[in-house]
Amino acid sequence: MQMQMSLRQSGLPARRAARGIKAISSRPSRVPLAKNAPVRKVAAHVAAATAEQVEVKPGSFDFNSYMTERAKLVNKALDEAVPQKYPDTLYESMRYSLLAGGKRVRPALCLAACELVGGDIQAALPSACAMEMVHTMSLIHDDLPSMDNDDFRRGRPTNHKVFGEDIAILSGDALLTYSFEHIARATKGVPAERVLRVVMELGKAVGAEGLVAGQVVDIQSEDKEVGLDVLRYIHTSKTAALLEASVVCGAILGGADDGTIEKLRKYSLNIGLAFQVIDDILDVTQTTEQLGKTAAKDLAVNKTTYPKLLGLEKSKQVAEDLITEAIQQLDGFDKARAAPLVALAKYIGYRQN
Write down the pLDDT at residue 242.
Answer: 98
Q: Which of 1.10.600.10, 2.60.120.260, 2.30.30.100, 3.40.50.1370 is the CATH number of 62-350?
A: 1.10.600.10
Write down the pLDDT at residue 287.
Answer: 58
Contact present, 101 and 44 (Cβ < 8 Å)? no
Please state whether 82 falls in left (phi above 0), alpha (psi between -120 and 50) or beta. Answer: beta
| Sequence-ordered list of residues with C-beta below 8 angstroms from that of 92, at least 6 positions apart, any chain | 38, 39, 84, 163
- Report how far residue 342's alpha carbon sits from residue 339's, in angstroms, rounded to the nearest whole number: 5
User: What stretch of H or E contains 156?
Assistant: strand 156-157
Per-domain residue ranges for the chain? 62-350
pTM score, two decimals?
0.82
Give the N- to C-terminal CA distance of the chain in Å, as an integer.
Answer: 36
pLDDT tens track of the chain, all 353 residues? 333 333 333 343 444 443 433 333 333 444 444 334 444 344 444 344 443 444 555 457 899 999 999 999 999 999 999 999 999 999 999 999 999 988 899 999 999 999 999 999 999 999 999 999 999 999 999 999 999 889 998 889 999 999 999 999 999 999 999 999 999 999 999 999 999 999 999 999 999 999 999 999 998 988 888 899 999 999 999 999 999 999 999 999 999 999 999 999 999 999 999 999 999 898 887 655 655 555 556 655 567 889 989 999 999 999 999 999 999 999 999 999 999 999 999 999 888 76
- Report how far residue 244's alpha carbon sits from residue 134's, in angstroms, rounded to the nearest whole number: 13
Write down the pLDDT at residue 162.
Answer: 97
User: What stretch of H or E contains 208?
Assistant: none
- Report how far residue 96's alpha carbon sits from residue 160's, in angstroms, rounded to the nearest whole number: 11
| Sequence-ordered list of residues with C-beta below 8 angstroms from that of 237, at least 6 positions apart, any chain | 209, 210, 211, 213, 214, 215, 217
Write down the pLDDT at residue 4.
Answer: 36
Write down the pLDDT at residue 295.
Answer: 52
Write down the pLDDT at residue 118.
Answer: 97
Write down the pLDDT at residue 43.
Answer: 42
